[in-house]
Amino acid sequence: MCIGLPMRIVTADAFSAMCERRGAVEPVSLLLVGPQPAGTPVLVHLGTAVRVLDEAEARQIDDALDALAAALDGRPFDHLFADLIGREPELPAHLAAAAAPEPSRPPDK
């Protein structure tokens, strides 16, 4: 399984950046997302920034990864999914339309 990790740009030029995640700094290609200013959170996969993130999404990804580690260690993890507890699951808009039932038609006479 391949997982993208949220990282924060520390320094950057037009094509690459030094990005930080939890104290570790590594070089990251910006070819897919274009130049980004320092401080920007990005989703990094195999040394390449694949998407620019907002702060909330970066935190949700970090929480989900922390929850996975906690679950594997047998520690509590519900608090890391606070945004999901107490609400019904929702499909993304592009899938919700496909899952909606077709309107009923009157029977043929």
Of residues 20, 89, 6, 95, the one with CA closest to residue 55: 6
Same domain? For 60 and 72 the reply is: yes
Q: Residue 79's pLDDT is what? A: 86
Is residue 48 domain-resident? yes
Q: Which of 12, 34, 52 is the last residue of a domain?
A: 52
CB 54 within 8 A of CB 70: no
Q: Residue 102's pLDDT is what? A: 67
Of residues 24, 20, 22, the one with CA closest to residue 38: 20
Domain housing 10: 1-52
The number of angstroms, rounded, from the C-alpha of 18 to the middle of its chain's C-alpha atoms is 20
Query: What is the three-class DSSP state of 101?
Result: coil
CATH of the domain at 12: 2.30.30.140
Q: Residue 74's pLDDT is what? A: 92
Query: What is the three-class DSSP state of 41?
Result: strand
The predicted-structure confidence for 4-20, as pLDDT tens digits, reads as follows 999 999 999 999 999 99
Same domain? For 40 and 75 the reply is: no
Is residue 66 domain-resident? yes
Measured in residues, the chain has a length of 109
pLDDT-based confidence at 40, cuts 50/70/90?
A: very high
Q: Residue 98's pLDDT is what? A: 74
Q: Residue 86's pLDDT is what? A: 80
Same domain? For 65 and 24 the reply is: no
Query: Does the structure show a pLDDT above 80 at 37?
Result: yes
Q: What are phi and psi of 69, to 5 degrees?
A: -65, -40
Is residue 91 domain-resident? no
Same domain? For 6 and 40 the reply is: yes
Q: What is the pTM of this model?
A: 0.74
**What does the alpha-carbon distance between residue 66 and residue 98 come to, in Å, rounded to a whole number?**
32
What percent of the chain is predicted at pLDDT more than 90? Answer: 64
Mean pLDDT for the stretch of residues 62-90: 87
Task: Please provide the average confidence, as pLDDT, over all residues in the chain.
Answer: 89
- Specify the number of domains making up the chain: 2
